[in-house]
Structure formats: C-alpha cells, structure tokens
C-alpha cells in the first residue's frame, strides 16, 4: 500500500464501491506540517450520500447478523494481518495527514491491529450465560444479539485507532456500520476501508461517508434506520448529539473531553514524574483527551519539579514527524493553533506565569505548518480557565498544592473525569488516590496517557455517558441482551406464582 493511497481512494466507500459525493463537490486534505503537501482530495458529501450508505448498511445487516461469529472473526483476523503488513506505510500516511510523530503514528496503527485481534478473539467467546430456573424442567439463558446499523463519528487525533476501537467491536457482534471520519483526517479511515475490502468483508457491512458534521454527521445520527450512535469528540458536540438521539431512544455512546491531572506528592521520584508529565503534556502535541494538562505538585517540591520540567520542555525537538529525532509535531490545523494561542493569552491575563513556550513557531521550515512551542504555565490556581477548560494543545499548567487531600479535591474540581495519575512512594496514598479520583482511568507512577486495548476506556461526568470503548466492555455498546426460557415440562408453569403458592 502506497502512502499515496488517499489520492487513489478519495471516494466514499458505500456498498462495496468507491463513489464520489452526489453533489460532485470535493475538498483538499493538506499536511499540517507543510501546507504545500496535498495528502488527498475527498468528497464533500451530504444527506443524499448518507441515505445511500445507510440503505447499504441496512441491506447488508441480515446477512452479516446471520454469519456465524467465528466466521466474522476470520475476517477481522484477516484485517489485522493486513494492518500488520502495511503498518509502516499507514503510519507514514497518518503522520502526513495528522502530524503526529512517526513513532506515535505507528502506535496508532498498532492499536488498530490489537483491537482487530482482540475483537476477533471474541468471535468464539461472545458469552451469554445460563442460570437455573426457579421451576422444574425449565431452562433459562441469556444471549447477546446485534442491534443493527451503527453510526460512528470519529475524531482526528487518533484517526485509525479510534475508528478501529468502534468498528471492530461493532462488526464482531454482527452489526453493520456507516462511519463519518473527521474532515481533518479522512485518509486514514479511507485506508481502513481498503483494509476491510481486501479482507473480503461483505459489501455494505462497512461504509464510509466523508463530509462535515452539519452535512453528514447530523443526518447520519438522526437517521431512523440508525440504531446505535458512537461519537468521540468535544463535550459540546456530544451534548448536541445526545439531544438529537433522545427522541428516538437510540443506543448512544459518547466519549468526550478531559482535563486530566497528575498529582505529584512530596515523596515522589521527581525525575520520573517530570518524564511522565512531559510525555503526558506534549505527546501528540497535547492533542489527546487524556493529555496531562494539570500538574498538581506538592509545595515542598514544586520548585525542583518545575525547574526540571521547564528544562525538559525547552529541549523538545519540534518539527516534521517523519524526521528522525523530532518529538513534537504540528497542531492539526490553523484553527487549532489559534485556539491554543488564545488560551495562552487567557492564562497570562489570569495571572499565571508563562515559564516557557507560549508562541507560534514560524521560523524556517516551521513556517510551512501549524507549529506551537511546548508551553508551561506556573503559579496557577484551580479557578483559572487554563486550569479548568480543555485546550487540546501543547500546554500544561503547574498548580501548587499543600496536601494529598487538597490535591484530590483540586483534581476532582473540573467538569471532566477521564484520566488521572499520582506519583508517590506511599502505597497507602496510592490506593486512596485510586479510589478517590473521579475518573474512568487511573495510573500510579505513570502519566495520564497510555491506555491498552484490552481494558475499558472511557470516563465519567462530562467526559462520557456511562459506556466504554475497547476491551470486552466495548462490545456492550453494540449488543442487546435477550433472555430466553425453554419449558420442557409439558404443562403451563407460572413464574413467581406456582413456585410460591399460598398455603391457603
């Protein structure tokens, strides 16, 4: 597979065919590292394309539902093998399209590989359960069943991993899919469609429609034939999707924002905590919902920690993620860079101390992309906007705290609840932090990023609506439970009545 795959596969993937948008309109996808690098030209789709794609998914559903799950698993295993074979070229395409450094892009593709194999393994394990009946000669069991057509709306920051998390779980359960990728990163999902095509997934089971949220996303998530909606993105958009789905009671999974805290206590290994903070704050240029954007540091060590953190941040090499040694790539778009720049201005107006960074990088080759210097604020308070609102860029904030209890209180003071971390040598406080942090993911002596696909991924509060991705829990979104009773007594037996007849 060539890294020019996006140029060759620039249509929507509907019913097993690559098709232009009904409107004939297209848009350009350009490299955020170099505006002159055209990654691909993609269809600017609309409601008519959504209708055709949903019809294809609806038509393919009965056949895919009735395909034995072990056979569905064989196709997912084949997809995982193709992803493995093409990992390097897919990663290089992703770096061109999204900007993350090549090592991280490889990790993104590896997550898709891992999820393909994990989901495929469930093809022989989609466990229900049997249970004794309260009546004689009666058998009782529960089984999982697919739900129908699933609408997947995916973000740009993990352009292959997150689509794979969602689609592999939906497919192994027997559902069909229409996916709308982010318009900043359509090429990676187009490439995933090509993988499924080569793996001989039946036509119409996996469909891709590319376009904006208003023109594609809105008609897709509200379509009467869509039974499940899975969305990853901002809390504001998630709230709007929730309202749109409510009238028809669609199954809805939301994975939204984060404002994650690392609590660094006075007994922590400071050097280890600095490494974790740097990786958490500046990995993927801070464009992760799990990014370590709040560093709650005990006042006894805040000076030492901050000095070492700033020194490390200043050494980070910013540039083209395809180049050896580069540690921080560009922001995904000019729009995202402007958002980060506005938050830096807000932080300075609020009275936080700008310790390093805080500026667009426009010298030399960096002038051709959307680069921003790794940025650290010090002397921040929990009430500041930079301490409460998701920035989604290479910006982190040091907040001094006086005790473990204060740190936990500050960590829990924001509207989000995705990921958290504590650095300490005290096992008692480590376990208390595990219990007391209001998050769906937690780390001890590690950063807030780095989830593995066999564990559930997701958060609480304004981060999510109770569902999870990845692991076995990811299948819950895409299945319904059916309870089945088989009475072989040869007579009518009434539950709760015949078993508890009155002595009268």
Q: E strand or H helix at 86, and its extent?
A: none
> What token pair was written down for 175?
């559902």
Q: How far is CA 443 from CA 139, 188, 261, 420, in A?
A: 44, 30, 11, 6
Are 419 and 449 within 8 A, CB to CB? yes
Q: E strand or H helix at 293, and its extent?
A: strand 292-298
Q: Which entry of 150, 245, 289, 356 is annotated as an active-site residue?
A: 289
Q: Which entry of 97, 122, 197, 255 is annotated as an active-site residue?
A: 255
**Does the annotation count 289 as an active-site position?**
yes
**Does the annotation count 245 as an active-site position?**
no
Quote the CA–CA distance of 158 and 188 in Å, as a whole number. Answer: 9
**DSSP assignment string, 434-453:** HHHS--SEEEESS-S----T
Q: Which residues, other chains included, contact 109 with Cβ-Cβ below 8 Å and sequence gap of 6+?
A: 83, 87, 90, 91, 94, 160, 161
Quote the CA–CA distance of 460 and 457 in Å, as a whole number. Answer: 11
Nearest to 309 by CA among 318, 300, 301: 301
> What token pair was written down for 104?
């991280």
Pairing of strands 129-132, 176-180: unpaired
End-to-end, the C-alpha distance of the chain in Å comes to 78
Are 61 and 227 within 8 A, CB to CB? no
Instruction: Return the sign of the alpha-carbon dihedral for residues 34, 37, 40, 45.
Output: positive
> What token pair was written down for 490?
């040869």
Quote the CA–CA distance of 39 and 439 in Å, as a whole number. Answer: 37
> What token pair was written down for 392?
């989604």
Active site residues: 255, 289
């Amino acid at each position: 597979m060539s890294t020019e795959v996006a140029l060759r596969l620039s249509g929507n993937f509907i019913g097993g065919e690559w098709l232009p948008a009904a409107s004939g309109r297209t848009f350009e996808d350009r490299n955020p590292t170099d505006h002159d690098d055209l990654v691909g030209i993609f269809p600017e789709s609309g409601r008519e394309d959504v209708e055709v794609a949903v019809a294809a998914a609806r038509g393919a559903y009965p056949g895919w539902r009735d395909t034995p799950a072990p056979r569905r698993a064989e196709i997912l295993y084949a997809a995982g093998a193709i992803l493995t074979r093409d990992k390097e070229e897919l990663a290089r395409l992703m770096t061109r399209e999204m900007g993350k450094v090549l090592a991280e892009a490889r990790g993104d593709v590896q997550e898709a590989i891992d999820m393909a194999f994990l989901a495929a393994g469930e093809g022989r394990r989609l466990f229900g359960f049997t249970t004794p009946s309260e009546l004689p000669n009666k058998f009782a069991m529960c089984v999982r069943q697919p739900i129908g057509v699933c609408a997947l709306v995916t973000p740009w920051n993990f352009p292959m991993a997150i689509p794979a998390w969602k689609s592999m779980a939906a497919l192994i359960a027997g559902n069909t899919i229409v996916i709308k990728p982010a318009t900043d990163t359509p090429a990676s999902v187009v490439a995933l469609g090509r993988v499924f095509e080569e793996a001989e997934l039946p036509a119409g089971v996996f469909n891709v429609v590319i376009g904006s949220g208003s023109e594609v996303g809105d008609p897709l998530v509200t379509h009467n034939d869509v039974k499940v909606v899975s969305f990853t993105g901002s809390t504001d958009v998630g709230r709007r999707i929730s309202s749109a789905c409510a009238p028809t009671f669609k199954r809805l999974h939301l994975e939204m924002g984060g404002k994650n805290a690392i609590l660094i206590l006075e007994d922590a290994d400071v050097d280890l905590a600095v490494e974790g903070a740097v990786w958490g704050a500046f990995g993927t240029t801070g464009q992760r919902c799990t990014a370590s954007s709040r560093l709650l540091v005990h006042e006894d060590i805040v000076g030492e920690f901050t000095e070492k953190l700033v020194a490390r941040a200043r050494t980070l090499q910013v540039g083209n993620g395809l180049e050896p040694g580069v540690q921080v790539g560009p922001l995904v778009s000019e729009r995202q860079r402007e958002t980060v720049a506005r938050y830096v201005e807000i932080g300075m107006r609020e009275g936080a101390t700008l310790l390093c960074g805080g500026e667009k990088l426009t010298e030399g080759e960096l002038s051709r992309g959307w680069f921003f210097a790794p940025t650290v604020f010090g002397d921040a308070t929990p009430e500041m906007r930079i301490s409460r609102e998701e920035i989604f860029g290479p910006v982190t904030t040091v907040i001094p705290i006086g005790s473990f209890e204060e740190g936990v209180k500050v960590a829990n003071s924001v509207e989000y609840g995705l990921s958290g971390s504590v650095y300490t040598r005290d096992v008692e406080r480590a376990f208390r932090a595990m219990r007391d942090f209001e998050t769906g993911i937690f780390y001890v002596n590690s950063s807030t990023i780095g989830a593995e696909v066999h564990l559930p991924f997701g958060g609480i509060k304004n981060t999510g609506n109770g569902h999870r991705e990845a692991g076995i829990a990811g299948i819950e979104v895409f299945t319904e439970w059916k309870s089945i009773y088989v009475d072989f007594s040869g007579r009518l037996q009434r539950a709760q009545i015949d078993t508890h007849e009155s002595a009268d």
